């Protein structure tokens, strides 16, 4: 049984560019949450998707958007990248939003 997978593992982008990160949830899970973790900090909640809709959102600008597909996989899109967007982006899945979250290995984004 595969756990949560994320792609790519690492990514380098230039300021102003756009990026798409992908997440496949653990088998049987229907809820996906995204977190941003800056170096030396704890993860910060970006948003949560359930039934293909954004159900909750953290304190992130509209440059951060997402999508959930019918197979429950999810994408995180960030437009107009800033240097401060450099971070580890973590995806977590759960069996609906009330249960324990399982995290993927993360995507390390570097903006230059």
Partner 1 sequence: SQQGEEDPQALSIQEGENATMNCSYKTSINNLQWYRQNSGRGLVHLILIRSNEREKHSGRLRVTLDTSKKSSSLLITASRAADTASYFCATVGSSNTGKLIFGQGTTLQVKP
Q: Which residues bind partner 1 (CB under 8 A)?
A: 4, 31, 33, 35, 37, 39, 41-45, 48, 55-56, 58-59, 88, 90, 92, 94, 96-106, 108
Could you tell me the smallest distance in angstroms from the CB atom of residue 63 to partner 1?
19
Residue 52 has φ and ψ, to the nearest 5°, of 65, 15
Could you tell me the smallest distance in angstroms from the CB atom of residue 16 to partner 1?
26
Could you tell me the smallest distance in angstroms from the CB atom of residue 82 to partner 1?
19
My answer on whether omega of the bond before 90 falls inside 30° of 0, hence cis, is no
Per-residue CA distances from 84 to 3, 74, 80 (Å): 29, 23, 11
């Amino acid at each position: 049984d595969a756990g949560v997978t994320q792609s790519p593992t690492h990514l380098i982008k230039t300021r102003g560019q756009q990026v798409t990160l992908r997440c496949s949830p653990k088998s049987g899970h229907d809820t996906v949450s995204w977190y941003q973790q800056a170096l030396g900090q704890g993860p910060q909640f970006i948003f949560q998707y359930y039934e293909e809709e954004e159900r909750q959102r953290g304190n992130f600008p509209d440059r951060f958007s997402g999508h959930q597909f019918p197979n429950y996989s999810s994408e995180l899109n960030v437009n107009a990248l800033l240097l401060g967007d450099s971070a580890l982006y973590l995806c977590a899945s759960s069996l609906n939003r009330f249960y324990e979250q399982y995290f993927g290995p993360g995507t390390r984004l570097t903006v230059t």
